[in-house]
Amino acid sequence: MKKFSGLIAATILATGYAPAFSEELVAARNIRAGALVLAADIATPKGETALRLAANLIGLEAVHNIYRGQPITENDLRAPTIVARNEVVRMEFSKGPMTIATEGRALDQGGVGDRIRVMNLASKRVVSAVIVGASTVRTRS
């Protein structure tokens, strides 16, 4: 075991990070905040559980910078941003068979299902809305 502990220590000193021996996922390269996680960004997972977790994380967006060799957790990632702050969006309000649509300005960013603040461009009123698609939000009915 002493041989391995020396080898591990040498690896840490030479590369700046420790290799993962558990089933945690590790970044294979630096991932910038806001970038989508690709399969190439995750070091080859060892074990079925890690492989399944890796498959679930691919396509998510990094919340902050994740550096090579750093473990990747679900808290480091979020659903991809499809509405940017200050983007003009279509606001929809539905009540029964009637739907009203107008333009608004997103005051926050978010992904599908996120609740954000939107300013109605006609009335300048700020309302809460849920993102339902690219550049489309729906207010409460």
Mean pLDDT of the chain: 84
Domains of the chain: 2-78 (3.90.1210.10), 88-139 (2.30.30.760)
- State the pLDDT confidence band at 45, using cuts at 50, 70 and 90: confident
Pairwise CA distance, residues 81 & 67, whole Å? 21
> Are 25 and 45 contacting, i.e. CB atoms less than 8 angstroms apart?
yes
Residue 131, both tokens: 């993102």
Q: What is the pLDDT of residues 84-105, one digit of tens each?
A: 999 999 999 988 899 999 999 9
Pairwise CA distance, residues 134 & 111, whole Å? 9
What is residue 140's predicted lDDT score, i.e. its pLDDT? 80
pTM listed for this prediction? 0.63
Q: Percent of the chain at pLDDT above 70? A: 83
Give the Cβ contact number of residue 82 at 10 Å: 18
Q: What is the pLDDT of residues 14-32, one digit of tens each?
A: 454 444 445 788 999 999 9
- Greater confidence (1 vs 113) lies with 113
